[in-house]
Amino acid sequence: MVWDAFSDSLWSGIHELSSEEVLIVWHGYPDLKAGDPECFKRVREILNEIAQTLSNPAYGAGKKVHLLVALVEPA
């Protein structure tokens, strides 16, 4: 996976929303965690980095966005 492209695309998509609060619901994350733990770890790092930069108006062109990621296990 091209991590920079994933990160840039996700950051831009969230930033373009009119909302200042964003929730990502990640269903089925245990499959990735079990199948490719390193990939899962990198995705979590990217989501954390995006949350940090979006919450800082200096990085978000004056707009502060709160990002919450909910990891949901299958029932």
pLDDT, one tens digit per residue, over 23-73 is: 999 998 999 999 999 999 999 999 999 999 988 888 766 778 899 999 998
Confidence of residue 1 (pLDDT cuts 50, 70, 90): low
User: Where do we find the tokens 């089925």?
Assistant: 28
**Which amino acid is residue 4, in one-letter code?**
D
Q: Please tell me the pTM assigned to this model.
A: 0.85
Distances (CA, A) of 35 to 3, 5, 26, 41, 71: 18, 22, 16, 12, 16
Instruction: Find how far residue 18's CA is from the centre of its chain.
Output: 17
Give mean pLDDT, residues 10-21.
89
Instruction: Supply φ then ψ for residue 67, to 5 degrees.
Output: -115, 130
